[in-house]
Amino acid sequence: MTRLENWLEEARRLPSPNRDERPAGVEVDLLVIHGISLPANAFGGPWIEQLFLNRLPRHRHPFFAEIHGLRVSSHLLIRRDGELVQFVPLEQRAWHAGVSSFQGRERCNDFSVGIELEGADQVPYTDIQYRVLCRVTRQIMTHFPAITPERIVGHCDIAPGRKTDPGPAFDWKRFRAGLEEPE
């Protein structure tokens, strides 16, 4: 890994225009885990990347027409085969949380890192996704020591009623145990 504040060495880089600077003086102290598939429950293909790059072709699927013009991103995406893709440097603000709140603080994008897992709420995530997620999470926690295990949440936790990801198929117990394993 080189210069964590910019880009992870192991990640394929696809800079998203959907990012900006964090507010001055804000400490990064939250990690948000998401789940995404485009279209729903379909894996593989370029659509997640195209969404985060504002290139999603609205004519390719009815759902794409619905979300055309949506400007979102995440810091990282972990594909089902374990490939790590980075869209936003960790020091910058990615647009992943939307309307959100954690422990009374609004605008979670300001103080969080977002990791998307290619998946769906009811579909188990892959072994390699958990391994990569644990490894990357440990790196992020080292760089941002205010992110403790208690400050790692799902999108559903910061946007209840609006978001359900990473969903019931995400094994929190397995993930948290994996954070304790040596590299």
CB 107 within 8 A of CB 158: no
3-state secondary structure of 152: strand
Among 121, 134, 141, 139, smallest CA distance to 181 is for: 134
Query: Among 9, 116, 150, 180, which one carries the catalytic annotation?
Result: 116
Residue 66 known to be catalytic: no
CB 44 within 8 A of CB 54: no
DSSP state of 104: T
Tell me the angle at which helices 127-143 and 172-180 cross, rounded to the nearest 10 degrees.
60
Which residues have a Cβ under 8 Å from the Cβ of 139 and sit 6 or more positions away? 1, 4, 8
Quick one: CA dihedral 67, 37, 172, 133, positive or negative?
negative
The catalytic residues are 116
